[in-house]
Structure 1
Amino acid sequence: MKKNWPGYASFVWVSVFILFHIYWAFGGRFGLGDASSPIPPLPTSLSEWIYFYVVIIMFAAGTIVPLATIRSWRRYFTRLMIVIACWIGCVVLILRGGAGFVDDFFRSTGLLPNGITGLTYEQTYGDEHISTYTLWSSRAMDGYFILGGVLYGLTAWFYQSRIASLLKSKKNRPHHTNSTNDAG
């Protein structure tokens, strides 16, 4: 488990992430602040539906990838696919959380009243003036995205390290044909 802790941590992170989204889909409000419409409506255009399904696919991949670094799933995914998916998850999550912090910084300082997105608070949250609770809820969410990115990056790095040491040890020993567990 010591070598696999980032994979387990990433799986726990994405599980909590998914559970919160299910909770919000059923009307839960904790973590969203007190804005009047923090949850976007269902998609109405083709591009919104495409985006919706891409996000669902990312949820599924984000759940499977950490498990693939822990279990030996090489018959389903190559090591390279797993590593690339981890690094993509790392970058996407850090960019999402970082963009939220940058957007909030520009809004809070008044340098860009509509942030980097160009959207007003009313367009984003449904209210022209939002509460401190809503701001801090948004910041916590951005921080959670960054935490996920760090965990997926650590998962990729630890997995690559395990693969490298496995390949090195295989290179230095006589050839055996019945390997049972080989780092995924």
Structure 2
Amino acid sequence: MTISAAPNRSADKRVTSAGYTALGWVVVFFAFHIYWYCGGSFASPGKLPSLSPEPNRLETSAGVHRLVAWLINGTVEAAWPLGALVCLTIARGWARGRLASVTRALAWVGCVVLLLRGGAGILDDVTRATGVLANGITGLSLQDETGHAHLRWSDWGVDWYFLAGGIIFSVLAVRYRTQRTHSRTRTTDGPVPRWATRLAHLIPFMVLPSSLWRLAAAFGFPLGMLTSTGELDAIRGWPAVYIATISLLAEAVALTAFGLVRPLGEEVPRWLPFFGGRTVRPKAVIVAATAGAVALILIWTVGFWDVWTTGRPGAMANSFWAAVFTICYAPLNLWGPALLLLTWSYHRRVTGRWAVSSRG
């Protein structure tokens, strides 16, 4: 059953493509800055702006220039989350009424800021390269501004990237339309049983204890784990990041169970790039959910069989910590079967069998 129509689809697609292009610009911009602040050198513009101004250096003749440069760079770099949200809001058509007007205004602000930043940077590079102004338009030597004595290709590249961002945001602002409608097609025929909705809410809590256990380990708590030498094992560095990431991913996967009892299983969420708003094929949902449920049973029940039968998860300091591990991970045995039940309920609804049995 179609609920609403979507007029002017070609214009809608142009706005969407412009939104995702601008979002890509923001993501690349932020990713490179994280890379540089973490010590990366490829395409580095040199010395990055300090995350806070240097009060002891503001009394010099160049102090005002440094403060102005810090404020400009800080504003531009701190605005990336807002810029990403604006791009995604426009691409997905979330804003309505006054909020749409505010969103479009923010897109124009981003356009102006980026054009000014890119244009000023290129002008500064040109005046330095040609010798018109030895210290460029900022009044700072290149050594003071970037940490190196001569212009490099990365200096030009960063400034041109800002200018390109301004152009991209200008296209986004021009193409943006404040009123957008979407269509939605229902693929299920029957109501969601109350028990299925409750079970979907319980699944994230089945995963939560083990996720909390891993997060505690990632933050350096030994939790009774021992090394090969018999000492308490505290996880540090990249292994800790990996474990924390696995915990967050596990919770995210657990939340997908709501797709079997919510419209998520009928239509791709509108905020997802490229596929948002498309009708979901029930057969694809059933196959994916069934395969996932079987995989969960194989991983947590069959794969941890020795833990469940012996109560010994590995080298632990004592039986207390072994019990803590077992208690935290035991609910994972219910994840796979619970997902299978939800998949069975979803299958009955999309094939109309639930409605038939209810009437019968």
Q: TM-score range by the shorter chain?
A: 0.7 to 0.9
Distance 1:56 1:32, change over 3 A: closer
Cα distance in structure 1, aligned partners of 2:121 and 2:77: 21
Report Cα offsets for 1:20-40 as digits up to 9, x if no partner: 11111111111115x5xx223
Q: Which amino acid aligns with 1:59?
A: W
Could you give the per-residue CA deviations for residues 51-72 of structure 1, whole angstroms, max 9, x where no partner exists? 4874564111111011111123
CA distance in 1 between counterparts of 2:100 and 2:31 reads 28
Aligned mate of 1:27, from 39, 53, 57? 39
TM-score, length-scaled by structure 2: 0.40
Structure 1 residue aligned with 2:82, among 54, 61, 76? 61
Cα 1:146–1:60 shift into 2, 3 Å:
same
Higher relative contact order (CA 8 A, sep 6+): 1
Structure 2 unaligned residues grouped into runs of 5+: 1-12, 56-66, 184-360
For residue 22 of structure 1, what is the amino acid of its counterpart?
A: I
Code of the residue aligned with 2:20 in structure 1: it is Y
Distance 2:75 2:140 in 1: 23
Aligned to 2:17: 5
Q: Tell me which amino acid in the other structure corresponds to 1:26.
A: C
Is the deviation greater in 134-143 or in 68-77? 68-77
Whole-angstrom distance in 1 between the partners of 2:154 and 2:21: 22
Residue pair 2:14, 2:175 contacting (<8 A) in 1 also: no
Pairwise mapping of residues 81-120 of structure 1 onto structure 2 (< 5 A)? 81-120=102-141
Q: Is the 8 A contact 1:87 1:152 kept in 2?
A: yes
Q: Do 2:15 and 2:90's aligned partners in 1 also have CA atoms closer than 8 Å?
A: no
Shift of 1:141: 0.6
**Corresponding residue pairs, total:** 158
Q: Note closer, same or farther for the CA distance 1:109–1:180 as it changes in structure 2 (3 Å cut).
A: closer
- After superposition, where does 1:136-175 map in structure 2 within 5 Å? 136-159=153-176, 162-163=177-178, 166=179
Alignment partners' CA distance in 2, 1:44 and 1:108: 28
Unaligned runs of 5+ residues in structure 1 are 168-178
Superposed displacement of residue 41, structure 1: 3.4
8 Å Cα contact 2:108/2:173 also seen in 1: yes
Per-residue deviation, residues 87-119 of structure 1 (Å, max 9, x unmatched): 010010011011011011111111111110000
* 3-state SS of paired residue (2:50): coil
Q: In the TM superposition, what is the alpha-carbon distance from 1:45 to its structure 2 partner?
A: 4.9
With over 3 angstroms needed to count, the CA separation of the structure-2 counterparts of 1:23 and 1:77, relative to structure 1, is: farther
The residue type equivalent to 2:31 in the other structure is L
Deviation at 1:180, TM superposition (A): 5.7
Secondary structure of residue in 2 paired with 1:78: helix
CA contact (8 A) 2:115 2:165 kept: yes
Between the aligned partners of 2:79 and 2:171, the Cα distance in structure 1 is 19
Matched, 1:18 2:35: no
Q: Is the 8 A contact 2:15 2:172 kept in 1?
A: no
CA RMSD of aligned residues (A): 2.8
> Contact 1:4/1:158 (CA < 8 Å) preserved in 2?
no
Q: Percent identity?
A: 37
Partner Cα distance (2:182, 2:130) in 1: 57
SS in 1 for 2:30: helix
- Residue 180 to residue 70, structure 1, CA distance change in 2 (3 Å): same
Give TM-score, length-normalised by structure 1: 0.74
Contact 1:32 1:137 in 2 (8 A): yes
Q: Indicate the SS of the match to 1:144.
A: helix
Compare 13-22 and 64-73 and name the one that shifted more: 64-73
- Taking a change above 3 Å as real, the CA distance of residues 142 and 118 of structure 1, as seen in their structure-2 partners, is same
CA distance in structure 2 between the aligned counterparts of 1:76 and 1:56, rounded to whole angstroms? 29
SS in 1 for 2:79: helix
